[in-house]
């Protein structure tokens, strides 16, 4: 198990000589990182990995917007990608363009190698309603896997209190599913912290959040939540499914 270097960078508080996670070892967690701020975690990420080997993955939800803003403060020239399933809301697509303009960045759209039409023919015209796991695998997970194969670390916006599968997420951990380091700078943030940050920094966000959509995915699989429901109750409504497969496992 690696430990944090004893000497800390005076400006950031992160290790002066970052400890590399051993990629050939499973379940490696840099425990000391859990006390770091989001800025410190991202500083570690951008100073540990080559520019072409670390990227922010964003679905442009509220947490994703915060992660991108913090990343921009720490490293103005950072890489961002999003998985474009072909079923994103127009509001999400418009927000991506706004973010590109605000930070002067290009968001790489990762799409499935299977065109939507080709997907429909061998399966069903409404695969998302018959077998959402397969639909997510075709439209999200396979393209993600190909993208992550280029990287040594990916940065996500997941928080521990979002789903049971995320409750053990560490700020820096080994992603055994995709075989690279996974960095979750907002792991210990609450919904309130996210929205306080967005208001304080006057960030653009998806207007659907103000219309009852705390979590926004594909058009077919997202509905507004009702009073008293959990934040992600509007995702895959009617199915036991709570994750698309990107963040199902930790450690």
**Binder of ligand SF4 out of 205, 217, 243, 250 (CB under 6 A):** 217
Residue 72, interface with ligand SF4 (CB under 6 A)? no
Residues labelled as active-site residues: 244
Measured CA to CA, the distance from residue 183 to residue 216 in angstroms comes to: 21
Under rule CB under 6 A, residue 4 binds ligand SF4: no
- Segment contacting ligand SF4 (CB under 6 A): 8-16, 128-136, 159-167, 193-201? 128-136
Among 21, 158, 244, 246, binds ligand SF4 (CB under 6 A): 244
Q: Is 218 in the site for ligand SF4 (CB under 6 A)?
A: yes
User: Using the rule CB under 6 A, is 136 a contact of ligand SF4?
Assistant: yes
| Listed residue (67, 62, 48, 46) closest to 184, CA to CA | 67
140 near ligand SF4 (CB under 6 A): yes
Number of residues that bind ligand SF4 (CB under 6 A): 13
Distance CA(11)–CA(9), nearest Å, equals 6
- Told to check if 139 binds ligand SF4 by CB under 6 A, we report yes
Q: Does 119 bind ligand SF4 (CB under 6 A)?
A: no
Distance of alpha carbon 113 from alpha carbon 155, whole angstroms: 23
3-state secondary structure 131-162: CHHHHHHHHHHHHHHHHHCCCCEEECCCCCCC
**Spatial distance between the Cα atoms of 99 and 45, rounded to a whole number of angstroms:** 21
* Binding flags for ligand SF4, 22-41, as an x/- string (CB under 6 A): --------------------
Cβ closest to ligand SF4, residue 87 vs residue 89? 87
Compute the distance between CA of residue 19 and CA of residue 22 in angstroms, rounded to an integer: 9
Q: DSSP strand E in 45-196: where? A: 54-57, 80-84, 107-111, 153-155, 172-175, 180-183
Give CA 7 to chain center in angstroms. 30
Q: Which stretch binds ligand SF4 (CB under 6 A): 23-31, 67-75, 136-144, 161-169?
A: 136-144
CB 237 within 8 A of CB 249: no
Nearer to ligand SF4, 4 or 208 (CB): 208
Judged by CB under 6 A, which stretch of 33-41, 145-153, 177-185, 215-223 contacts ligand SF4? 215-223
Q: Which is nearer to ligand SF4, 68 or 218 (CB)?
A: 218
Exposure class string for 119-149: b at 16+ Cβ within 10 A, else e:
beeeeeeebbeeebeebbbbbbbbbbeebbe
List contacts with ligand SF4 (CB under 6 A): 85, 87, 128, 132, 135-136, 139-140, 217-218, 220-221, 244
């Amino acid at each position: 198990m690696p430990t944090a270097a004893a000497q800390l960078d005076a400006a950031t508080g992160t290790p002066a000589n970052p400890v590399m996670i051993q990629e050939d070892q499973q379940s490696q967690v840099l425990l000391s990182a859990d006390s770091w701020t989001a800025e410190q975690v991202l500083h570690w990420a951008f100073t540990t990995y080559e520019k072409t080997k670390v990227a922010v993955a964003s679905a442009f939800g509220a947490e994703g917007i915060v992660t991108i803003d913090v990343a921009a403060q720490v490293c103005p020239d950072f890489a961002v990608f999003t998985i474009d399933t072909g079923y994103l809301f127009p509001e999400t697509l418009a927000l991506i363009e706004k973010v590109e303009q605000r930070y002067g960045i290009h968001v790489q759209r990762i799409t499935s190698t299977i065109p939507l039409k080709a997907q429909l023919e061998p399966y069903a015209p409404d695969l998302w309603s018959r077998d959402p796991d397969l639909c997510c695998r075709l439209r999200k997970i396979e393209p993600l896997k190909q993208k992550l194969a280029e990287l040594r670390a990916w940065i996500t916006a997941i928080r521990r209190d979002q789903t049971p599968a995320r409750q053990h997420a560490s700020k820096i951990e080994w992603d055994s599913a995709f075989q690279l380091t996974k960095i979750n700078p907002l792991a210990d943030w609450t919904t309130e912290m996210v929205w306080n940050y967005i208001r304080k920094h006057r960030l653009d966000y998806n207007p659907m959040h103000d219309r009852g959509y705390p979590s926004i995915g594909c058009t077919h699989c997202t509905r507004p939540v009702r009073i008293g429901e959990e934040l992600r109750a509007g995702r895959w409504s009617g199915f036991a499914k709570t994750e698309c497969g990107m963040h199902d496992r930790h450690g």
